[in-house]
Amino acid sequence: MPSKLKFLLFAVLAMLACLNAAMAQVSAAISGRVEDASGAPISGATVTVKNTETGATRVVSTDASGNYCALSLSVGLYEIRSEAAGFKAAVRTGVKIELSLCLTGEEHSTSRPVLIAAE
């Protein structure tokens, strides 16, 4: 096999192996804080994180400081809804979790998940 063809075949196989490994390890989290109009934390609020592309939903509660964290999320677009007794529900749409893949040089490849968190 000519050396250029060997190199091309090797490069394609290496890229596929890296992509496969990157896809298997991709997960992210969305975290934030639920506050009232004065900025005081709302403890015990229900936060629903919904992937608008797949319909997958994760429900978490805020802690005593009003903080929440939804773990092990996949890449996609999300809607975040917070609700608490005595308060109007708040909804944030278009929260995006995406994977950024950078291939550099002939022998190196890297992938890194990039999270744009709702806060």
If one counts the domains in the chain, the total is: 1
Q: Domain of 31: which CATH number? A: 2.60.40.10
What's this model's pTM, rounded to 2 decimal places?
Answer: 0.64
Q: What is the pLDDT of residues 59-72, one digit of tens each?
A: 999 999 999 999 88
Burial of 30 (0-12, 13-18, 19+ CB in 10 A): buried
Burial of 115 (0-12, 13-18, 19+ CB in 10 A): middle
Confidence of residue 117 (pLDDT cuts 50, 70, 90): very low
pLDDT confidence of residue 82: 93
Contacts with 106 (C-beta within 8 Å, 6 or more apart), sequence order: 7, 11
Which residues span the domain enclosing 19? 3-115
Q: What is the pLDDT of residues 34-50, one digit of tens each?
A: 998 899 999 999 999 99
Instruction: Compute the average pLDDT of residues 75-97.
Output: 92
